[in-house]
């Protein structure tokens, strides 16, 4: 049977890599995003739908459309997230805190709330958290708090939905190459008074493998966790980060 897969924030970066991985194996894939241009540029075989994961009405409407068109979902990837402000806690504005936690944590909750009912017995929901969700992240308090919250949400979903055969896990990327992490490095460099290259080198040195991850590394983990090979894996936060040994690299 052709699997039906939803990936939020799936028009670029990690989300697009996940969408491509499932589509390559013949799954029917829909991605959501707020970037209309990125949605218009999606590769053939991947459907796109504009939706803001922090907007409950939009997520309810999306669930209704998927239910009507597909009859349900087999895999849900709650992947949407933003980096939020880069500042000390004492200098972080409340509106920046709320926007970041709204997308990263509320968005994950609303995705689960509205998409889980589309599953019968069985199925998989994957949450994109972060290594910031197990270590913390200096200058990025809203992001770290939200990503810790995503892990708590995932574990609770795993407990509640396990009796129906639904598995829930969280993938914790470290620093993943691409435009998004470039912006993160630039903001951190400005905050710390360092060069962008020095920040990048510090993050690479802060992993056991001395390297940053690729979006495809995360996609491969998502594909595995959604496969029968992972049938007894649920409730787990699983890092894809080259093993972070120094979560606050200083160089």
Indicate the length of the chain as a whole number.
251
- Residue 39 banded pLDDT, cuts 50, 70, 90: very high
Query: How is domain 4-240 classified at the CATH fold level?
Result: Rossmann fold (3.40.50)
- For the chain, the structural domain boundaries read 4-240
List the one residue out of 22, 15, 64 whose CA is nearest residue 45. 22
- The pLDDT score that the predictor gives to residue 110 is 98
- The pLDDT score that the predictor gives to residue 251 is 47
pLDDT, average across residues 12-28: 98
Angstrom distance (rounded) from CA 210 to CA 96: 32
Please answer whether residues 169 and 126 qualify as being in contact, where contact means their C-beta atoms are separated by less than 8 angstroms.
Answer: yes
pLDDT in tens, 135-149: 999 999 999 999 999
- Work out the widest C-alpha separation in the chain, in whole angstroms: 54
Which of the residue ranges 59-68, 124-133, 178-187 would you say has the lowest mean pLDDT?
Answer: 178-187
Q: So which residues are the catalytic ones?
A: 143
Angstrom distance (rounded) from CA 26 to CA 209: 33
- Residue 174 banded pLDDT, cuts 50, 70, 90: very high
List the one residue out of 102, 117, 84 whose CA is nearest residue 6. 117
62: tokens are 């999306």
């Amino acid at each position: 049977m052709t699997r039906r897969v939803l990936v939020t924030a799936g028009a670029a970066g990690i989300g697009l890599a996940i969408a491509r991985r499932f589509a390559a194996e013949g799954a029917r894939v829909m991605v959501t995003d707020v970037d209309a241009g990125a949605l218009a540029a999606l590769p053939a075989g991947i459907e796109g739908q504009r939706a803001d994961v922090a907007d409950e009405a939009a997520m309810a409407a999306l669930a209704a459309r998927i239910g009507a068109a597909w009859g349900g979902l087999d895999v849900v990837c709650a992947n949407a997230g933003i980096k939020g402000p880069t500042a000390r806690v004492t200098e972080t504005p409340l509106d920046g805190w709320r926007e970041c936690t709204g997308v990263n944590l509320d968005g994950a909750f609303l995705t689960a709330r509205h998409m889980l009912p589309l599953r019968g017995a069985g199925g998989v929901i994957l949450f994109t958290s972060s290594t910031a969700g197990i270590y913390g992240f200096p200058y990025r308090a809203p992001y770290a708090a939200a990503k810790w919250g995503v892990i708590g949400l995932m574990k609770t979903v795993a407990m509640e939905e396990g009796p129906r055969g639904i598995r829930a896990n969280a993938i914790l990327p470290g620093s993943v190459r691409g435009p998004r992490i470039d912006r993160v490095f630039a903001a951190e460099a400005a905050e710390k008074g360092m060069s962008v290259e020095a920040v990048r080198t510090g993050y690479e040195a802060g992993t056991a493998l001395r390297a940053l991850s690729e979006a495809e590394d995360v996609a491969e983990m998502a594909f595995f966790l959604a496969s029968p090979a992972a049938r007894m894996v649920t409730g787990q936060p699983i890092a894809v980060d080259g093993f972070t040994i120094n979560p606050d690299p200083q160089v």
